[in-house]
Amino acid sequence: MRRDIGEIACTLPDYDTGVMSRVRSSSRGAALPERPRPSAPSRRDFGRLFAVGGSATLGGWLTASRLLARSDQVRAIGSAATSPPPATARLGAQIRWSDELLRQQPEWYASGEARAVADSVIQYQSPQGGWPKATNLAAPPRSPEDIPSPQDGRANTIDNGATTLPMQFLALVAHSTGVPRYREAFSRGLDYLLAAQYPNGGWPQFFPLREGYYSRITYNDDAMARVLNLLCDAAAGERPYAFVDEPRRAGAAAAVTRGIDVILRTQVKQGGKLTAWCAQHDEKTLAPAWGRAYEPPSLSGSESVGIIRVLMKIGHPSPEVMAAIESAVTWLRAVAIHGVRVEPFTSADRRRDRRVVADPRGSALWARFYELTTNRPIFLGRDSVVRYAFSEIEPERRNGYAYYGTWPATLLAEDLPRWREKHKR
């Protein structure tokens, strides 16, 4: 039975707990699996990439991804890269590409300045339909060399808001202006996201696939949560997505259904009890998986928050979905760290550093990584060695990565009470 997701009207299934299975955490204590080497995909039909309803085999999907990356296949999803559009307005020097562009006054999206930004954004769209990360999309490329290519590791990704943020912005401008090229670029992006989804419901960080952790199901930095939120909005067809055609709305709704399915299947159990999620899961086994050298198979105090919020959007959650949410928030409360704070300081050699100090009045903190079987906070540097003290990893990582944070605080204090009130039974 399909249920309504609520205010954004995206259809989701009423999940049957007798059907869904979940990945159990390892029973071997603190030991972590070795970081895997990628294996070569099997040969399957390229057309399986576009199978409706997730019927494609994983082998076929992997081969299709490889073919799509080849220059003679780049038109498979839609048109080739967009040619430079006609000039609409000169960009203000102060405009930089960020999610702040989604929070402007409604009338601004019809302005010449907004259209100029949109015209710049569509020039960065790849032939496959995605966008690059770590790129100022608001600054028009001066030459083809300014547009990231797959070889430089930035193109065609959902990491760091790439692809989803450009699509959200283009939808706002398309809705306000009615200009066809903005709708068309959004539609190519939507086709790209639908094609990038694994048959099991997850999304890789890069598509076409890159070898290594980039091909894992990626919850890291809320990548998959952002995709699901965007697809829900597109499926609903409300402002600013009213221009999305019915076949694409249906495709988006089906993709969200599969995405929720894999979320439920990847929630880790400890001794039969549901807990949380890893930042990335293996695309074949669904087990917690390695990310970068300092991102081990573990339970995440950060990414689990975005996943819970996606589940909370389901308008009529089944008992299984409600159990997934309640179990995850119970786990988050149990692993909260009290009585300390993280502060910057200057080391004896006059270098900037960070440390954990006692603070009885400090706000609750959560670790980015918790050991799969013990729930102990763990810290890894670039050597991939598990340590149990923040002070034991190298200064470069202590200063360059968020090992502690307050990510669940608003979820537990505000979102959870509202959700429980809405779904009293």
> CA-to-CA distance for 51 and 257, rounded, in angstroms?
15
Residue 367 phi, psi dihedral angles, 5° rounding = -85, 150
From the list 48, 115, 156, 160, the catalytic residue is 160
Go through 238-251 and write b for each residue having 16 or more CB atoms within 10 A of its CB, e for each that does not: eebbebbeeebbeb
Residue 160 designated active-site: yes
Alpha helix ranges (H) inside 197-245 = 223-236
Residue 354 designated active-site: no
276, 266 contact by CB (below 8 A): no
Residue 8 phi, psi dihedral angles, 5° rounding = -105, 5
> What angle is formed at CA 127 by the lines to CA 125 and CA 130, rounded to 5 degrees?
45
The Cβ of residue 226 has, within 10 Å, a number of other Cβ atoms equal to 23
From the list 292, 341, 354, 420, the catalytic residue is 292
Chain centre distance of CA 86:
33
Residue of 280, 151, 297, 300 whose CA lies nearest to 215: 280
Q: Say whether 16 sits in a helix, a strand or coil.
A: coil
Q: Say whether 356 sits in a helix, a strand or coil.
A: strand
| Active-site residue list | 160, 292
